[in-house]
Amino acid sequence: MTNTKRGERPASRRPQRADAVANRAKVVAAAREAFVAEGLTVSLDEIARRAGVGAGTVHRHFRTKAELVDAVLAAAVEDLVVAANSYASSDDPGAALRDFLVRLVTEGAAAHDLAAGLQVDAGNAEAATSGPVADLDRAMSLLLSRARDAGTVRPDLDGGDLAAIVAAAHAAYVHPAGGDRAMMLVLHALD
């Protein structure tokens, strides 16, 4: 007997082949571009064509469009994790934190718009993104810690403060009278 819930696939006991992993990544990237350009009306067959794989490949990895939507949302957060980790080795921790936050807000605004458009058709977006969001939180915590240790941000800033600053910067950035300048004004709260 398996430990899966009804409708879930049993966990595979063997690792995926490299070509299967690469094909899945191609499908997710093609789906993300298609969803941004055309919304959710794009078919799985069209996504397969754009990814350069067969329709069967898409259906093997994603039984439903909702599963693919979840994967696209998770991939958007994973991209931000990779970016945050790339900033962690900077020689200037304060600039690294600020540069990443600008990237987080600007790319996050696009990801937020994508998520808002896809949320209705997602399967379980919260479950799909919980791991990547936790990874992002850890990466941001490291950036903040390095900047505090270097004395380049307020010494009393904590993770909750940073989350509030990011939310405020996002709101300022997407506001009709906002944009880059408004975002930067909010980010000065780090000083």
CATH 1.10.357 in the chain is located at 64-190
Query: For 14-32, b where at least 16 C-beta lie within 10 A, e where not — what string?
Result: eeeeeeeeebbebbbebbb
pLDDT tens column, 131-188: 999 999 999 999 999 999 999 999 999 999 999 999 999 999 999 999 999 999 999 9
Has domain 64-190 been given CATH number 1.20.950? no
Task: Confirm if 58 and 44 have CB atoms less than 8 A apart.
Answer: yes
Strongest mean pLDDT among 1-5, 7-11, 148-152: 148-152
15-63: CATH superfamily: Homeodomain-like (1.10.10.60)
Contacts (Cβ under 8 Å, ≥6 apart) of 49: none
Q: Which of 68, 139, 126 is nearest to 97 (CA)?
A: 139
CATH 1.10.10.60 in the chain is located at 15-63
Mean pLDDT of 119-135: 81
Q: Which of 118, 117, 131, 25 is nearest to 66 (CA)?
A: 118
pLDDT tens column, 11-30: 555 677 888 899 999 999 99
Rounded Cα–Cα distance for residues 150 and 160 (Å): 20
pLDDT of residue 121: 62
